[in-house]
Chains A and B, each alone.
Chain A
Amino acid sequence: KQEVTQIPAALSVPEGENLVLNCSFTDSAIYNLQWFRQDPGKGLTSLLLIQSSQREQTSGRLNASLDKSSGRSTLYIAASQPGDSATYLCAVTSNTGKLIFGQGTTLQVKP
């Protein structure tokens, strides 16, 4: 059974710092991996989607990497800003199209 784990559960950094969020999954037979952002009490916004054949995707200050063989993904946020404060969720898509989510990492960026 696929399990997705995100470490750490919470992270607090000063503004301007570069940071890395981690995601690991137990079954490497995935179709793709996504990173989402969730603001308190809100729905999910898709940030990056990495296909299983890709190694990384970039969008602005965000860079996500994927290492299928080791079951790991990282989300790198450059020059963090207070507006980046949110919960970041990682999800893998199984070959049946089902999304399996991690528990999320809650990020606080202090001014």
Chain B
Amino acid sequence: DGGITQSPKYLFRKEGQNVTLSCEQNLNHDAMYWYRQDPGQGLRLIYYSQIVNDFQKGDIAEGYSVSREKKESFPLTVTSAQKNPTAFYLCASSPSEGRMGEQFFGPGTRLTVL
């Protein structure tokens, strides 16, 4: 059953804590992305990776970190430096030989700061 999985579905963080959101795909896609969505707003790009062991900052990378040690996995860490982390986080992937911009999205993780 191919697709993109994100875990956990809901995550609660205390002030000053780092938390890591998981994103896994078995679609054999080269590129992976992390987006943040706030209520009533579109998605904003946090980080993206087009190949293993390489990643680039998106528009709102401050307070976040990522790694891409395996093709299938692209975890996102929300650090204590991110001042307003409460949001819905979406992971996506795309094939290198597909239509440009065609991305496939996971189900999302809702992060709440207590």
Q: Which residues of A contact B (CB under 8 A)?
A: 4, 9, 31-32, 34, 36, 41-46, 49, 51, 89, 91, 93, 97-99, 101-104
Contacts and interface: CB of A to CB of B under 8 A. Distances in A.
A69 B106 CA distance: 33
Interface residues of B, number: 22
Interface of B: 4, 6, 40-45, 88, 90, 92, 99-108, 110
Nearest to B104: A46
Say what secondary structure dominates the interface of chain A. strand
A103 B101 contact: no
Contacts, number: 59
A97 B107 contact: no
Contacts of B100: 31-32, 93, 97
B57 to A, nearest CB: 12
